[in-house]
Structure 1
């Protein structure tokens, strides 16, 4: 796909506004994750406590992911997104006031992280599905890759600004920043046209909520390529993504870095993911997607293994950058695989199942947190990296379709 044609996606005002909303909410997500991780570790000195706060943010994905997918297929997506943005903005305001008044306790932060996770749980089945509706089918991969670029960019910018904001403004400044970005997201959403779908309306009229969810599970059971793709998502969220909770611990404890430098370290992950997502947006074809999805994640797991055995900031930064390159391949493509596989009337509910797979991350965070208490943060990262390599190899051997099955439009 040419550079110029890929950029035509942004000519649609609705697409551009939804893309900007992803940019702003992504900045808040990563800013808070880094700032809270450093803050909690400085107070408790416990890697497991840091992991627990990451778990609080991820739990809504497991609890509400499938439901969010069903809701996305039955109700107005724009209204759903607006309501959740109002909820998370209110949460940020409450935490900022508690911090300023000196009444903030750790459990308040955990509740706030949980509330923020609600927005994350509806992002895939609601906002990303809206994006896919606005893109031609042959440009869906580019549309989602551009959105993944945004997530990767915020993963690069958010931790750096989070460390800086925590150092300069304190935790209250972090929460006020989140409030402002959520408010701006609501303003951007206001003019976006509501996606109208006769198919969605018909589905909502005749299907029960539980029937909608059961149909999604039936689709997955019958499609080996879809099933194995979701298993890859489970592997990433059990053995890949949780390493991010250990980066502040390794940075502060093992490498003796200040909060801002810890933020820069984690930002390397986002930079790597941003670069590879841009490459996918402009160069990847549908035939490449499944292989990039699987082998990119394998690359990320090996880079995590290298990170576990570094003892200096520079090689640690290189390893984190390499993790970002591999994980960026996975992240840029996971949504596209679901959208290209699912019929339009089922995309929301199947995206909801993808969110449930992402919601497995709390188990992974608890796992790496307990390992860190027992073995130390660096060794814990090494263990989950090895577990991920083994699990991904087994999926590739048992379900070869995960890297080779054509999409329906390519058959």
Structure 2
């Protein structure tokens, strides 16, 4: 562990509570995702339905984009996050009851996906904005890396655990997931109140401040948009149940391993980046990572071996973590606290577009061309995006340092 990481854990108990809350929330969500995906594919056998689940989960990010960030800036972020976690816990409890009475249908899963997506649409910008409130500026980079490692740790263990538990029955997944959310919201409410809520009146200008902030910075906009488009095209998460069942000939446990593999790569990379932060040649490193993401996606699409598929997904996750860390540094460190929620909501929209819309894109193209061609098309698309964005954002491609002082410029977009 780095010196900063040691100081962070030793002297900042609120961060430990925040870190654990993130672990439990992410674990609950990953377990739900594995179970819902497998249950939907078992019910309908439709790859398009798998994509629709991702699309429906993403819709709340669009519908409530102007509200979620403002809520995070105006109200107590601890309470908002805890409320979102309680809502997700109720979703898990509803799935447990529905499975017990054999009342889960295709339409029920779509409704559950929308409710889950709504809770997460409010939770993401809130927790992102909350972190700077509990960590001193000097330890913030280490906190970002540690927070990322928490998410990836949960993404490694929880899907595999969810797959194993699902073999015993869907209820064995939904029950523990409910408990994880209860623990998470308790930890979130234990954090100290250090936020200065936004006092500005709600207006069109204040609601759109997050968009204006990101759009006013070419490098920030280029980073988040490239990541969004690359993952939108290259994402294949929605098709993992198909690969597990029909191509790799494995069961729910294999699906859990496949969902965990990208997080293994991401965790290893986040640990490396915490000890060796990216300080020079930021642009070339990020563009290279996106290209590697595309190559790994192609390798996964061509694989017929579970173990080789796991290797390609580990590489994919490591490459994606690099761009995520750079994007996080651009957005969080350069944003004033009073508008972090609104900027985080916009950033969450980009992330959600890449993940949930990527799931829909994968399901749609798989229904048109077949599962393997859909993944190959996505991998090639991510590589093409790399070259295109070098032309569109040349300063980002040549960028050397991670962040630059932008306080004066930030004030202008408020």
> Does the pair score TM above 0.5?
yes
Aligned 8 A contact 1:48 1:370 in 2: yes
Query: Deviation of residue 95 (structure 1)?
Result: 1.8
Q: Equivalents in 1 of 2:346, 2:276: separation in Å?
A: 28
Q: Equivalents in 2 of 1:326, 1:19: separation in Å?
A: 23
Matched, 1:135 2:131: no
Q: Equivalents in 1 of 2:136, 2:284: separation in Å?
A: 23
Query: Deviation of residue 252 (structure 1)?
Result: 0.8
1:222-371 matches, cutoff 5 A: 222-240=216-234, 242-287=235-280, 290-361=283-354, 362-371=356-365
Change (3 A) 1:196 1:321: closer
Q: Which of 388, 393, 405 matches 1:409?
A: 405
Change (3 A) 1:145 1:295: farther
- Higher mean displacement: 326-335 or 303-312: 326-335
Q: Equivalents in 2 of 1:265, 1:217: separation in Å?
A: 35
Partner of 1:82: 82
Aligned to 1:206, what secondary structure does the other structure show?
Answer: coil
Q: Equivalents in 1 of 2:87, 2:38: separation in Å?
A: 25
Over residues 263-306 of structure 1, what are the superposed CA-to-partner deviations in whole Å (9 max), with x where a residue is unaligned?
11222111111100111122104446555444323211210011
Query: Deviation of residue 255 (structure 1)?
Result: 1.3
Matched, 1:163 2:145: no
- Of Structure 1 and Structure 2, the greater helix share is in 1
Aligned to 1:409, what secondary structure does the other structure show?
Answer: coil
Partner of 1:190: 189
Partner of 1:98: 98
Change (3 A) 1:57 1:126: same
**Gap regions ≥5 residues in structure 1:** none
Q: Which of 346, 365, 371 matches 1:377?
A: 371
Change (3 A) 1:234 1:209: farther
- Higher mean displacement: 283-292 or 246-255: 283-292
Q: Which of 207, 210, 213 matches 1:216?
A: 210
Query: Deviation of residue 184 (structure 1)?
Result: 0.6
Query: Deviation of residue 108 (structure 1)?
Result: 1.6
Matched, 1:174 2:173: yes
Query: Deviation of residue 113 (structure 1)?
Result: 2.2
**Gap regions ≥5 residues in structure 2:** 408-414
Query: Deviation of residue 363 (structure 1)?
Result: 3.2
Change (3 A) 1:209 1:85: farther
Over residues 232-263 of structure 1, what are the superposed CA-to-partner deviations in whole Å (9 max), with x where a residue is unaligned?
232144123x3111122111111111111221
Over residues 134-182 of structure 1, what are the superposed CA-to-partner deviations in whole Å (9 max), with x where a residue is unaligned?
22334322211111111111221122111101102x1122111111001
Change (3 A) 1:385 1:138: farther
Q: Equivalents in 2 of 1:110, 1:296: separation in Å?
A: 34
Aligned 8 A contact 1:308 1:379 in 2: yes
